Amino acid sequence: MNSLHLADGSEKPAEVKGRARLYSMVFCPFVMRIHHVLSLKQIPYDIVNINLQKKPQWFLQLNPVGKVPVYIDSDGTVVTESVTVANYLDEKYPEPPLYNDETKSRDLELIDHLSKIIDIITNVVYEKDKREFEEILIEIMDNLQKYENEFDIRKMTFFGGSNPGMLDILMWPWFDIGMALTLLHKQHASVERHKKRFPHMMVSNMTVEFIPRGDSFTKGSEKPAEVEGQARLYSMVYCPFAHRIRLVLSLKQVPHDIVNINLQSKPQWFLDIHPNGKVPIYIDSDGTIITDSVAVANYIDEKCPEPPLYNDETKSRDLELLDHFSKIMDTFANCIFGKDKRQFEEIITEVTDDLQEFEDELNVRKTTFFGGSNPNMLDVLIWPWFERAKALTILYKQRASLDKERFPHIMKWVDGMKDQPFVLKHKGSYEKFAKFVEAVRTGNVDYDNL
C-alpha cells in the first residue's frame, strides 16, 4: 500500500494477483465514498495514491480522464466514477446490502439531487463562488431540507434504517469535510445557527461506530486475513487508549485497517499476539508490533514524521504534562468501574484541581492548542478523556460542567479540538460510552449492538 502520492515519472506499483486495488487521493471525497463501501463490505484491497497535479503516464493510460477513484477488482475489471464503483461493489458483494428494495428508487433520486450540494461545496473550495458565506450556507441548507424531511418520514437514524445504506455512505464524505468550509471562511457560529433546523440529520452521525469498523472479534473467531504491506490496529471502539491511536493514524494519514476485539471474550489468536490481552496493538506494515498507546503514538510519529507532533522547545514540558494527566485518567477509570466511592462533587473538585495545570500552561503559551495553531501529541493523547467526560454525569445522574471563568483556555481548546477533521472522523457518543460502561458493570457487553 502506497501512502505517498505517485507523480509523473514514477513507476507503476506491481499488482498483487487476485487482490483488488483502489487508485486514490487522500483528500478526495469521491474516493472516500469507496473506502467506506470497501470497509463496510470487508473487501481486502490495496491503495495507490495519485498526485493529481502531476499524474503518472501509466495512470492516464489506465484512465485517460485522469480522475480518481479508479477501482480494479481482483479479476481485473476496471471501474471508474464513485457512484458506479459503489454500485458495482454492492452488486458483486451483496453482504451487507446497501439498498432496500422499498426505498431504492427514492434513494437514487436523493443521490442524484446530492450533486447540486456537491457542486456548491466544490465551487467554494476552489474559490469559484464569490458570494458571502452566509448566502452560500443558506443555499446549502435549503438543499439539505429535502434530506431532513426524508428522515422525518422514515423515522430512522440512517437512510438505510438502523445501519447506514448507500445513500448515507455517498453523502457522508461531504459532511465529513463540511467543517473545512467554516475554517476557510472562519464562520463556525454561522453554521451553529442552522443546526436546530436539522434535528434528524444531527442524530445521523456516521463516525467510527459504523465506518470503518467490522464486528468485534470474540473467542472462537478466526483471525482476519492480514493485507501484505498494510498496517493494522487492534482496537476496541469504546477504549480511550485505542482512540488515541486512531486519532494519530488519521492525523498522519497512515493507511491501516482496524480489527476490533471483544475484551470480555478475547480470541486465542489475539492473546498469542499479546498475552496481556490489552488494546491498542499496532502492527506496522513491516510486521513490527508495538503495544501501549503512548509507545505506539511515539513510534508512529517517528516513522511518519509529517506532520510532526512534538516541538523541540516544548517536548519536555509536554511529556511532563502527559505524565501528570495520568492522574486524571486514573480518577476517570476508578469512577467508570465503580472503584471510587466518594461523592461525585468531591471527585469533580479533584479533577478540576488537576486540570488547573493545563489551563495555566495554555495561558502561558497563548495558543489555542498545546501544539500552537494546530494540535500536537499532547492535545491528541488527552482528547479521548475529554470526549468521554460527560458520560460521568449520566453514570452518576448528576450535572457537572467546567467553570468557564476558571478555565477559559481549556474551553477554547475543547471547542478547537471538536472542529478538527481528524477528531470529527473518529467522534464517539458519550451517551453510548455510558451505555457501554453500564453493560461492563453487568458483565454482559454486546460490543456491536449498544
Interval 116-162: pLDDT, tens: 999 988 888 778 888 888 888 889 889 989 999 998 899 888 899 87
Interval 278-315: pLDDT, tens: 999 999 989 999 999 999 999 999 999 999 999 999 99
At 76, the amino acid letter reads G
Domains of the chain from N-terminus onward: 20-92 (3.40.30.10), 103-203 (1.20.1050.10), 231-301 (3.40.30.10), 314-442 (1.20.1050.10)
C-alpha pair distances (Å), 375 with each of 44, 181, 380, 386, 415: 32, 19, 7, 14, 12
Residue 347 has pLDDT above 90, yes or no: yes
> Using 50, 70 and 90 to split pLDDT, how confident is the model at 183?
low
Please answer whether residues 281 and 234 qualify as being in contact, where contact means their C-beta atoms are separated by less than 8 angstroms: yes
The DSSP 8-state label assigned to residue 91 in this structure reads H
Lay out the sheet containing 231-235: strands in order across.
256-260, 231-235, 281-283, 289-291
CA distance 434 to 441: 11
The residue assigned the cell 500500500 is 1
Please answer whether residues 263 and 279 qualify as being in contact, where contact means their C-beta atoms are separated by less than 8 angstroms: yes
Please answer whether residues 9 and 56 qualify as being in contact, where contact means their C-beta atoms are separated by less than 8 angstroms: yes
Sign of CA dihedral 76, 80, 83, 84: negative
The DSSP 8-state label assigned to residue 312 in this structure reads T
- Bridge-partner residues for 297, per DSSP? none
> How many CB atoms neighbour CB 440 within 10 A?
16
- Predicted local distance difference test score (pLDDT) of residue 284: 94
**Taking the model in full, what pTM does it have?**
0.60
The DSSP 8-state label assigned to residue 226 in this structure reads P
Interval 82-106: pLDDT, tens: 999 999 999 999 988 999 999 999 9
- Predicted local distance difference test score (pLDDT) of residue 212: 41
Instruction: Give catalytic status of residue 304 as yes or no.
Output: no
Sign of CA dihedral 433, 439, 443, 445: negative
Determine the average pLDDT of the residues in 398-412: 92
CA distance 25 to 47: 9
